[in-house]
Amino acid sequence: MGSANADKNKNKTISFRVNEDAFETLREIAEERDISLSAVFREYVDTLVAHEGAVQLVPDHEVQKTQSGDDDITDSFPPTVTVPKGFVREHERLELETEHLREQLEEHKQYLNHLQDQLDEEEEIIHLEDLDRPETDGQSFRLE
């Protein structure tokens, strides 16, 4: 069992060809980031696997847009949204109300189960439809 797991975690080698321009661009990226060319590919593959193939390569100049009126302020990735405190409080209130309603529902279910248990413990239940049938085996019934 241990060797099968060890085989599964072995590193594999991927080989492919790129044109000279693409190679130079990748080498420049590696130099700019002060990492090896192999590390660039490993990072890309790790990102690709982590996001199940949903990765889009975007040049830095397209990601780092300046906001209107402010110089040198860049949008962060992933984007963030500021949520008003009132919205957060309303959400928390609704969560508490939901929890309370679930507790009430559980109490009602327990009460219904209790009533059903009491009903099941009664000696005998005779339905009015049964009184009209002639096959009552000669039993006589009296309403009290």
Question: What pLDDT, on the 0 to 100 scale, is given for residue 123?
Answer: 62
Task: Give pLDDT tens digits for 96-123.
Answer: 999 999 999 999 999 999 988 888 776 6
Cβ pair 74, 65 in contact under 8 A: yes
Burial of residue 44 (CB within 10 Å: 0-12, 13-18, 19+) is middle
Which residue, 25, 36, 35, is CA-closest to 60? 25
Which residue, 61, 24, 26, 17, is CA-closest to 44? 26
The pTM is what?
A: 0.33
Give the alpha-carbon dihedral of 135, 141, 143, 144, to 10 degrees.
-150
Cβ pair 18, 26 in contact under 8 A: yes
Task: Give pLDDT tens digits for 3-12.
Answer: 555 556 677 7
Low-confidence ranges of the chain (pLDDT < 50): 1-2, 66-73
Domains in the chain: boundaries: 10-80, 85-122
Q: Mean pLDDT, the chain, as a whole number?
A: 76
H helical segments located in 17-141: 20-32, 37-50, 60-63, 85-121, 128-131
Question: What pLDDT, on the 0 to 100 scale, is given for residue 70?
Answer: 47
Q: How far apart are CA 102 and CA 104, in angstroms?
A: 5
Q: How far apart are CA 88 and CA 121, in angstroms?
A: 50
- Residue indicated by tokens 């928390």: 92
